Structure 1
Amino acid sequence: MQTKKINKVFLEALKEAYRGVISSDQNSTPKSTRILVAEKIKATFELINYQIKGSENLPYESGSIFIYNHLLNHQYLTVDTNFQLTLDSHFISSKILYTYYGITGERVVRYPLPEETNHKAYYDALDYTKVYSKAFTAPQTSKEKIKAAHENFRIKTTENLNKQKGLVFSPEGNSYTTENSPGPFKKGIFRLAASLKKQPYIVPLIMSGFDKLPSEAIYKCEIMPAFKMSDYGINSPDHPEMENVIQTINNQYKVWVKALAKKDVYFKDEIEILKKRVNAKKNSENLVVFYGSSSIRLWKSLETDFPTLNVLNLGFGGAYIDSLIHYFETLFTFKAPKAIVLYLGGNDLNLGYSAEKIVEMIKGFITTIRCKFPNTLVFNISIKPSIERIEKMETIRKINGLMQDFSDQQKDLFQVDFYKKMMKDGQVKNEFLLRDGLHLNNEGYKVLKDILQASFSQASI
């Protein structure tokens, strides 16, 4: 789509989501209205380029606090007179909480000024918890009213977390450009988390680019590992180290935001890390190289799972088949390995490719491997089923079937059928997956290890 056109199309979709809320039927409940806007916003972001990284870090508990660095909106993306939909928080509600937990989450918004009628109409329909913001508080507002609002925030937030509703919250209380983000963190949400009998997880969401037009930037969100305040030794809201811990988190956020803003979509940073890993590998005899996307990258127990093999993990997250082909010569600088274990094709489903096209690309890559290493055994792990890609299951089955047929005709190519072990009675076994419904958990890797071990034995490795 043309550069200028994508901005216009994106804005029109935002306006449609906005109109859907303020024109909702009087009988609509806040819950149904939240779902309506989540679905519309989710579809809106599909119109542009965005990235979500680190979904494997999402905790299983939906009753977590999802903190984020709040970014300004570009002025062009104004949906009504003096009103904008905050892109980052709406992205989190729709693309993170609604997608992975089936909830829209609770939000905390500021009370509007008297003249902000559009702001009031929109957030009244969604019935989010409101607090007063210093920069947006009418002069006549009494201290008692402000204090009562903050107490109501504490009560409602505690209640919602206990009900596993999840809370989307920016600790800054203000918004910034990506370059100046994050601002100083306020204590409130961290003190609240520390005060609860069962401390909730705090999930850091790093946001970048949402202050730009879609034509100017890729909107990025990286999910970092969740933590509890008790992980820092904080078990009460009045702990003497509270301010120091918050400052530590704030400083870490600055590093994360800067790194995410610089990250490119061509995996250069990850490839540099893998090149160092290759160079650090002293023993290249009888190497068994695992090469592919996140299912390889996240296999932390690879060496202990195969203690008798000389393994090397060269996985990088989000890799497409083209990416793996592109960096093959860059990474495979050692002598011919004994075997190469591949996991690829899953991410290419998101590009809208047909099963036949993906299979042809995999075949082409295997030919590339054969040209460089004619005597190396190749094990291709079938694309696993996942809840995240439930709508693409038929395509996944077709790819796996075609690859099995191809493998049966090839010497030294082994198709590893992981798909069947991940299914039961036509349903995906979610006990083998992380909260994101896509990546494997420890139990999933145990299953994959056993299947691969059987294939290795068959090939006399």
Structure 2
Amino acid sequence: MNEMDQSRLLLKNIKAAFRGIVEAPASFSPKQIRELSAQQFQSIFNNLKVQIKGSEYLPYEKGSIFIYNHLDNHPSLVAADHFQITLDSHYISGLLYKYYKDPGIRVARHSLAEESNHKAYYNRFDYIRVYSKNFIPDHLTKKEVKKENKKFYKIAAAILENNSSIVFSPEGISYKTEASPGPFSKGVFKLACCMKKQPKIVPLVMVDFDKLPNKATYKCQIMPAFTMADYGIYDSHDPRLGEVVKKINTKYKYWVQKLRLEEENFEAEIAVLKKKVEQLETHQALTVFYGSSTIRLWENMAQDLAPHKTLNLGFGGAFIHSLSHYFEHLFNGLTPQNIMLYLGGNDLTLGFDTNRIVADITSFVKMVHNKFPETNIYNIAIKPSFERKSELTEIRGINYGVQALSKKLPYFHHLGLYEKLIDKDNQIRKEVLLQDGLHLNAKGYKALTALVLEALEREQ
């Protein structure tokens, strides 16, 4: 599909999504409508170039507040007369539905009298409705608007207490990516302070959803959740609240611009890793871990594997070819006793089949051996995950192929992580994965730690 066809298809799908909601049977409940919409936009974005980062930061529990910087719509993406469907917020609803089976409750502005399509669409969702500063009916006074908008707190608190999540943009209006975010209002942060148990606030950084798909990659980065208590705020009347909101707003501006300017390569991460290599105090008896996010996110590696000396050179989203590309640069000057690899899983997203990936791993392992002929090389099997459930057959095939390779090469060893993460019925053990269904949690890393320690101690 060429680039213009992609934009035309998006417009066609947006129009169909609009009709799907406004023409849905009157018997459909708001919950069914929200789920239908989330499914529609999951399908729409599956056909677009979308980059998501930070899914490991999604909270396990529901009942969180998801905040985001709200982006303009591209003017050509008109769902119906004088009405546009916001891409960023609908992407978020689809994202939450994917991970929680609940798209959450969004906060949407009231429709103006002349906005018949806006009204026909959003009235089906039963969202929390507020007046937005650029869309206030002329007949309403400021006092009336303020009184109406105050209802937000009671409604939103009840939703959170009912274990559903809220999706909210603290700006109140949208901006172009280059100018995003605008100033944050205090409302949603006041809400978080008001509650008996402060909910987690999860920042979602949105970039380029105001562009056509042939001109940009849509980007969403999930940042670590926080509570207002983390900033020392326990009361919505705390005089420091305004300054804290400004601080969060400033952080957001940095996050948006950093993500906007970030290229789709690994140069920034590689620079950080190279610095780690240069700052090593000793190279003696070193075990270097090299691979994708399963390695990168192993934050407690040093203490988990003590007294073994370790170096974590993982970078998220790494493909076999990128690991190969940066290998010489990162390993120059090192003399590792052991190298632990985790690779191959991300290559499935490139459309490569099992044979191709096993062949690429074989070539990479031989290249590593040529560089370090005295080093033990280990491969950690690709883990099973719910995110890649449809590819488990391919994952098992890759693991089997690499295990077979380990029997042919005396310097190469295979660690069967896959088998440690499934139960007796060959089902994925949910308790070893994060909420995103992809990355390992503490229990998952405990299983990996045991495997690695056993392998290292066997070689001593």
Same fold (TM over 0.5): yes
Mapped partners of 2:356, 2:85: distance in 1: 39
1:262 match: 261
Shift of residue 284, structure 1, vs aligned partner? 1.6
Does residue 156 of structure 1 match 2:132? no
1:284 match: 283
Post-superposition Cα deviations, 1:8-45, rounded to whole Å, max 9, x if no partner, equal 11221222211111111111121112111111111111
Post-superposition Cα deviations, 1:116-143, rounded to whole Å, max 9, x if no partner, equal 1110011011221111112111101355
Does residue 439 of structure 1 match 2:405? no
Does residue 86 of structure 1 match 2:86? yes
1:121 match: 120
1:73-152 mapped onto 2 (5 Å cutoff): 73-95=73-95, 97-142=96-141, 145-152=144-151
Shift of residue 153, structure 1, vs aligned partner? 2.0
Mapped partners of 2:201, 2:162: distance in 1: 16
1:375 match: 374
AA aligned opposite 1:384: K
2:41 match: 41
Does the 8 Å CA contact 1:107/1:167 hold for their aligned counterparts? yes
- Count matched residues: 459
2:391 match: 392
Mapped partners of 1:360, 1:149: distance in 2: 64
1:157-196 mapped onto 2 (5 Å cutoff): 157-196=156-195
Post-superposition Cα deviations, 1:348-399, rounded to whole Å, max 9, x if no partner, equal 2222322222211111211211221222111100011112222221221121
Mapped partners of 1:348, 1:31: distance in 2: 37
Does residue 67 of structure 1 match 2:77? no
Does residue 341 of structure 1 match 2:340? yes
2:36 aligns to what SS in structure 1? helix
AA aligned opposite 2:230: D
AA aligned opposite 1:387: F
1:192-271 mapped onto 2 (5 Å cutoff): 192-271=191-270
Does the 8 Å CA contact 1:38/1:94 hold for their aligned counterparts? yes
AA aligned opposite 2:15: K
Shift of residue 145, structure 1, vs aligned partner? 4.9
1:126 aligns to what SS in structure 2? coil
1:14 match: 14
Does residue 350 of structure 1 match 2:349? yes
1:276 aligns to what SS in structure 2? helix
AA aligned opposite 1:448: L
1:327 aligns to what SS in structure 2? helix
AA aligned opposite 2:73: N
1:222 aligns to what SS in structure 2? strand
Post-superposition Cα deviations, 1:127-180, rounded to whole Å, max 9, x if no partner, equal 211111121111013556534532432222111111111011000001111111
1:420 match: 419
1:135 aligns to what SS in structure 2? coil
2:220 aligns to what SS in structure 1? strand
Does the 8 Å CA contact 1:70/1:172 hold for their aligned counterparts? yes
Q: Quote the sequence identity (%).
A: 47
Does the 8 Å CA contact 1:284/1:334 hold for their aligned counterparts? no
Give the TM-score, by structure 2 length. Answer: 0.97
Mapped partners of 1:348, 1:18: distance in 2: 35
How large is the RMSD of aligned CA atoms in angstroms?
1.4
Shift of residue 336, structure 1, vs aligned partner? 3.3
Post-superposition Cα deviations, 1:205-234, rounded to whole Å, max 9, x if no partner, equal 111111111111111111111000011111
Post-superposition Cα deviations, 1:234-276, rounded to whole Å, max 9, x if no partner, equal 1111011110111110111111111111111111110111111
Mapped partners of 2:292, 2:17: distance in 1: 35
AA aligned opposite 1:45: F
AA aligned opposite 2:441: N
Where structure 1 has 5 or more consecutive residues not aligned to the other structure, the ranges are none
Shift of residue 446, structure 1, vs aligned partner? 1.4
Post-superposition Cα deviations, 1:269-311, rounded to whole Å, max 9, x if no partner, equal 1011111111111312232110001110111111112222221
AA aligned opposite 1:166: S
AA aligned opposite 1:70: H
Does the 8 Å CA contact 2:133/2:172 hold for their aligned counterparts? no
AA aligned opposite 1:184: P
Mapped partners of 2:312, 2:10: distance in 1: 40
